[in-house]
Homo-oligomer: A and B are copies of this chain.
């Protein structure tokens, strides 16, 4: 697995960390994603559903920013969620450029059932690490994530 060894200690450390980060993230995503798709939602669709379920109504721009996805992509995701009756778009009355997105009743109940199972699955997968390790990992990832955000 050691594919990089000739760039100096510091560089090797960074490179191998990056590889492991990408791998763990992809694998985790695949496993949970497969699960989500078995409920008839795509991963990004579920992401938006979850966001609305936890945070309440949001406008398109906020959804895009939070889900780290392009605006154009959010439009498509919302189109599909709307088509399936999970969300509805409401043109804002005070600033008519904005559109507020909110869950329908169907969207809400779907969110609750799926999220429950999703949470169980994620917990089961995470149990590869002890709780203490999960906490340490979270702390480090948070520091990394926030630090990178500043470099953007």
Within the assembled complex, what's the spacing in Å between the Cα atoms of A138 and B4? Answer: 15
- Contact A151-B126, Cβ < 8 Å, known A27-B145, A143-B133: no
Determine whether the beta carbon of A15 is less than 8 Å from that of B136.
no
Instruction: Report copies per complex.
Output: 2
Determine whether the beta carbon of B18 is less than 8 Å from that of A28.
yes
Determine whether the beta carbon of B25 is less than 8 Å from that of A131.
no
Interface locus among A5-13, A76-84, A86-94: A5-13
- Contact A134-B14, Cβ < 8 Å, known A54-B3, A128-B143: yes
Contact indicator per residue, chain A 130-151, by CB within 8 Å of chain B (1) or not (0): 0101111110111111011101
Shortest CB-to-CB span from A11 to chain B, Å, is 5
Determine whether the beta carbon of B24 is less than 8 Å from that of A21.
yes
Interface of A is mostly: helix
Size category, A interface: 35 or more
Contact indicator per residue, chain A 20-49, by CB within 8 Å of chain B (1) or not (0): 111111111111100000000000000000
Determine whether the beta carbon of A25 is less than 8 Å from that of B27.
no
Binding site for B on A (CB under 8 A): 3-4, 7, 10-11, 13-18, 20-32, 51, 54-55, 68, 119-120, 122-123, 125-129, 131, 133-138, 140-145, 147-149, 151-152
Name the 3 nearest CB pairs between A and B, nearest first.
Answer: A128-B147, A14-B126, A25-B25
